[in-house]
Homo-oligomer: A and B are copies of this chain.
Amino acid sequence: MEEFNILALLTILAGAWLGGTAAKRLGYPPILGELVIGIILGPAVLGLLETSEMIAVLAEVGIILLMVYIGIEINFRDLGKASWPGLLAAIGGFVVPFGLGYYTILLFDGTHLAALFVAIAVGVTSLATKSRILVDLKLLNTRIAYVLMAGALISDTLALIIFAGMLSFVDAGSIDTLGLIFVAGKAILFFALTALAGYFLLPLLGRFLSDQKIKNRTFHFTLILLIVFGFCELAEMADLHSILGAFMAGLFIRDGVFNRQISKEINDIFHDISIGFLAPIFFVSAGFHVTLEVFQSDLLLLISVTLVAVIGKIVGTALFYLPSGYGWREGITVGTGMNGRGAVEIIIAGIGLEMGIISAEIFSILVFMAIFTTLSVPLFLTWTTDWLRRRGELVHQESRKGTLILGANPLGLYLARHLNQEGDVTIIDTNRELIEEAKKQGFKSILGNALKEETLDEANAVEKNTFIALTGNNEINLLAAQTVHNYFYIPKNIVLVAPKEGGAGMELLDRIGASSMFANKTNLAPWIYKLKSGNIQEKTETIETKISTRNWVKQNRSRQDDILPLFIINLEGNLRPFHFHDEIDAGEKVLYLH
């Protein structure tokens, strides 16, 4: 066996970590830093490292596991919500650069196959939505973020399917129609088989395991790995690349197939092995194949491909986006957001290089194109969103909508009345009378125990954006928040913490990333009494300079027992609950009870 080179592995991992961390700090996805580090460490610049069998094997396992993770992360339910504009953006953002990229390579005397590879590479879209860009630009709750997410996911799926078709034809070479039908048939058979297995057999297996009360995580993990590699083998039998099998496997290892807790833990393991260990080896070593000479020898091609990628993507997206009715400006913004290239592009380019379809020069050009386009995203997206914002055309939309309130007490109902403007509110309580009252007032209300998964399923917790636990029992509030956080992934968890000695206090909220309601320890009883007696006024205070909620509470310490801050009202008039981990911007209002 060739020497197992620990030093090379250590250097790659350390480099990937430094590069990835630096990129993240600058607001870019880690893959950018990993590619750049690879180019620097590799033959192109320092020549410290080059590719080896060991690196190739680990990188291969890395991208297989990464594709599983990418597949797992694609949530059909989330996708459904922006599917129409997302589909339009994805198709436009794919087809136009695809066509342009194809003809560019032909123009430069490339082969048809090379042209097809480049076409796909300029067509794909990276999941920029996972990066910090959207957070930095405060876009997370806008329709754009949502369309970007759906668009990138559809685009990835589309690209991989077209890639599958292309691979079939690569293998087929120039054969007769019958042969082509056979080749295409195999690819279609692969998708049909894996889809059927994923859709029908996997849930059966999951139910069998849960019936047998098998809850061993490692057992599930190994089983899922077997499914993954089984799908990979199916893909290879259909003359497709194994990453397509991994992707299909990931698609179907979704919520609800296996036990919720185990699914979450296994998802975490796939994330950590791929993103925290093996996938960076692939991206760093992709940099080893890059040559800087293209800046001299093929500068025109490099510039052309990059321009085609950028202009094709933005114009294509904007053009196809028109039927959505959301306007060409939003289309352009979406286009700039989808302009990055990432993991999938580098993986496809790497396969092309390995198969000898594209040259080292074209591979290098594709890597630099990925780097340039990814660099452009925050820049362009800042311009376009500012432009939309100034025109007042930035439409807000929550990926998950609505609020789940635990506690149908008068304060709960009071909050619900206000939040109903913002979207769907559902109330849970174990008290029949309180639930009757809530129903009378027209709220969706569920009589049940919020610590049970059945109740939360009934309340459609997986679709909710915010959870507010408002019972007088700290521990129930906390346990409920834990459950919705761990098993229903509700992103915003706000918990009422009553001041009392012992029991669950503020310090336990951190473990599940929850925040305390009213940004202070609060006794429920007096406020319920005040609400019932009607001895209460609703007031608002406009904030002059940005302040954290905790400091606002501190400032108002003197009248602590007389006021209860319920909401922050932003400039557009939207309400959000007043809780500990939040800041109030200048011009926003605090709505409080007095």
Contacts and interface: CB of A to CB of B under 8 A. Distances in A.
A354 to B, nearest CB: 7
A60 B4 contact: yes
Contact of A277 (B221, B230, B503, B507): B221
Given A53-B1, A229-B9, A505-B451, A276 B475 contact: no
A276 B479 contact: no
Interface in A1-53: 1-2, 4, 6-7, 9-10, 13-14, 17, 53
A220 to B, nearest CB: 9
A354 B58 CA distance: 21
A420 interface: no
A347 interface: no
Interface string A460-483: 000000000000010110110000
Number of copies of this kind of chain in the complex: 2
A534 interface: no
A574 interface: no
A57 B229 contact: no
Contact of A2 (B53, B232, B261): B53
Nearest to A246: B6
A353 to B, nearest CB: 11
B508 A479 contact: yes
Contact of A276 (B53, B225, B261, B508): B225
Summarize A's interface: helix, strand, loop or mixed. Answer: helix
Nearest to A449: B502
A223 B18 CA distance: 11
A446 to B, nearest CB: 12
A278 to B, nearest CB: 9
B475 A17 contact: no
Interface stretch (A73-81, A263-271, A309-317): A263-271
A583 interface: no
A437 interface: no
A214 to B, nearest CB: 11
B451 A508 contact: yes
Nearest to A483: B508
A303 interface: no
A272 interface: yes
A504 B478 contact: no
Contacts of A265: 268
Given A53-B2, A503-B449, A217 B272 contact: yes
Nearest to A7: B233
B479 A222 contact: no
Given A217-B272, A476-B503, A236 B449 contact: no
A10 B475 contact: no
Contacts of A155: none
A222 B13 contact: yes
A54 interface: yes
Contacts of A271: 218
A430 B501 contact: yes
A60 B476 CA distance: 48
B222 A276 contact: yes
A276 B218 contact: yes
A423 to B, nearest CB: 26
A56 B4 CA distance: 9
A222 B17 CA distance: 8
A6 B225 contact: no
B276 A273 contact: no
Contact of A218 (B54, B232, B233, B275): B275
Nearest to A16: B222
A516 to B, nearest CB: 15
A229 B60 contact: no
A218 B272 contact: yes
Nearest to A508: B451
Interface string A53-65: 1101110110000
A137 interface: no
A49 to B, nearest CB: 14
A201 interface: no
Contact of A273 (B4, B217, B269): B269
A504 B275 contact: no
B10 A233 contact: yes
Contacts of A272: 217-218, 221, 269
A223 B233 CA distance: 33
A452 B507 CA distance: 8
A226 interface: yes
A466 B449 CA distance: 29
A242 interface: yes
Interface string A146-166: 000000000000000000000
Contacts of A508: 451, 479
B61 A58 contact: yes
A130 interface: no
A440 interface: no
Interface of A: 1-2, 4, 6-7, 9-10, 13-14, 17, 53-54, 56-58, 60-61, 217-219, 221-223, 225-226, 229-230, 232-233, 236, 242, 261, 265, 268-269, 271-273, 275-277, 354, 430, 449, 451-452, 473, 475-476, 478-479, 501-505, 507-508, 511
Given A225-B276, A269-B272, 7 more contacts: A4-B56, A6-B232, A10-B232, A217-B272, A222-B277, A449-B501, A473-B475
